[in-house]
A and B are shown apart, each in its own frame.
With several copies, the nearest count.
Chain A
């Protein structure tokens, strides 16, 4: 028997798994399911929950507790912890609530075509900040809020990878 806490997209699932012969009982937020699971190939399996069939594939992000679970054609990102560990983490109260974005990162890999702001400039919401060309399309990157530009990390003609820092705000 094992007790897990699974979180995804703001939802929490308290799950107890118990083996039952070739199969499993899963108690999910108090509701009991009969689960059969059979693997097929390396990372795929077929899972039946009270008879409902699902094709499952699970990818682990290396050492940590996050998983990319594919249910049929749908991908779900989630985090799974042993229940007690999750409770301890919560009690420790490691801060939630994301800080407002203080930077713009490259939304895609591409080439910086133009930078339309300069350091120290005050920008309005929706103002054009820069233009990235990717796959032959020009993409306008705009500010989401009023802010003051602190640092411009890229220049015209530069290639960037997805996630590269472009602009920092004060």
Chain B
């Protein structure tokens, strides 16, 4: 029996909190934001119907504090909690606590999160369900000699990755035995600090693979569908930068096979909710199960644009115990969607985070453009959270239209006050290998080694120089007028006024 949700606490911040609040508003569900001391005036707080303070800026004191979040949900009588992505989204303990407190956790059941969150168990499940996997095994970080032996037997290059978590944290590619030990320690330490679990897994590193993932939706009544794939190969340090759907290399036949594989592991793990089954696809188009993300993905909008299905609303409907309102045959794919993740990072300096107050924020619009943004003019980007500040997603009737639309939209975007990756995305949209669809997860390091990006074109620098000269000329004229330092000995008030009016005219103020 379906039970309507009336109030949702969103245990997140930034663009994904805004995304979920928008869905709530359209469903007439009361939205509740929570915020840290760094987010008192953040967009998600301003947009939500209600908002409650939950602690200090560092996430363990606020967005990761289960007690405070549960307490707030109970105090304001929220029926449900949407965790977004990151923070508590894939925390089985938190999902279980919600269940104990009779608060609906908008995500898969705790057991499913637990099973699939452990890469070893998930891999085992995938093997049992008949999915192809990449050769590999768990290693003991303490026994570095044994680990090295195992790495050698798999054969370099190998990939070390955290058993808990994802998103590129606690992940290292090791090309040779010499670098193995340090990488192992770094990966494990990063995993421990990010997920509280230092265990790592070792697997064969595929050369020039593609990262392709399938979106799934499963209700509590045994209905499960996939919503096609997302191509996520454009990555830097295992962090996705650009995603699209369909994949430029996808065929209907391969989509059918990968979709079936995705639904097999979903069924094997009694999956309920929205989820993503990630695969590596090698150069001969063989695919290997990678992991299941038991949450809404950052890149979910590309799927929404090609299927016209609202994934957040579907998540909520599933959490309300509703049946899916469509079957696999009802799902059609139309056109092509691309997403660029816009981050407060400086690509010219190796993508170091850039912090500051956003000024002059102007988002593009017009046909086929969607922005999921978590900031506006006056917002502050702090060191505490993920540097992703907005996602720019476009739809086109085909890939070529989508790329030219993305180019147009990136050109319209304005933001000042800090460095962003917008210019970098503009470069990629002009890159021949990107345009031809011929790329792998090595795209960034192959195309832009040492982060050497083209700077402004000569013509643009000349334009800037002229602009600066005109500006200085105008200011100097204006200062002369204001100070009365005119070449003429005396200027009557009236003629001064008259000249200022003229000046206003030529500067275009009316």
Contacts and interface: CB of A to CB of B under 8 A. Distances in A.
Do A and B touch directly, given a CB cutoff of 8 Å in the complex?
A: yes
Chain A contact residues: over half helix, strand or loop, or mixed? strand
Interface in A113-170: 113, 128, 131, 133-140, 162
B386 interface: yes
B45 interface: yes
B378 interface: yes
Contact of B40 (A36, A110, A113): A36
B101 interface: no
A51 B50 contact: yes
Nearest to B167: A136
Interface string B375-398: 011110001111100000000000
Q: Which of A24, A108, A110, A128 has the largest number of chain B CB atoms within 10 A?
A: A108
A133 B456 contact: no
B41 A40 contact: yes
Interface string A82-119: 00000000000000000000000001111001000000
A40 B379 contact: yes
A57 B53 contact: no
B193 interface: yes
Contact of A59 (B33, B47, B416, B507): B416
B471 A135 contact: no
Nearest to B466: A26
B352 A54 contact: no
B413 interface: yes
Given A2-B476, A53-B51, A135-B387, A71 B458 contact: no
Given A38-B507, A40-B41, A42-B378, A8 B470 contact: no
A56 B465 CA distance: 11
A8 B465 contact: yes
B131 to A, nearest CB: 30
Interface string A38-58: 111111111111011111111
A110 B383 contact: yes
B466 A78 contact: no
Contact of B349 (A6, A59, A107): A107
Nearest to B510: A38
A71 B463 contact: yes
Interface residues of A, number: 68
A58 B49 contact: no
Interface size class of B (residues with CB under 8 A): 35 or more
Nearest to B426: A73
A6 B360 contact: no
Contacts of B40: 36, 38, 46
A36 B466 CA distance: 11
A44 B357 CA distance: 14
B464 A52 contact: no
B466 A28 contact: yes
B48 interface: yes
A130 to B, nearest CB: 13
Contacts of A4: 468-469, 472-473
B41 A17 contact: no
B508 interface: yes
Contact of A2 (B193, B379, B455, B472): B472
Interface of A: 2, 4, 6, 8-9, 11, 13, 15, 17, 19, 21-24, 26, 28, 33, 35-49, 51-59, 67, 69-76, 78, 80, 107-110, 113, 128, 131, 133-140, 162
Interface of B: 33, 40-42, 45-53, 76, 169, 182, 186, 189-190, 193-194, 237, 349-350, 352-355, 360, 376-379, 383-387, 410-414, 416, 422-423, 426, 455-456, 458, 460-474, 476-477, 505-509
Given A53-B51, A72-B411, A134-B352, 13 more contacts: A8-B461, A15-B465, A40-B41, A40-B46, A45-B507, A45-B508, A46-B46, A51-B76, A53-B45, A53-B47, A74-B423, A108-B352, A135-B386
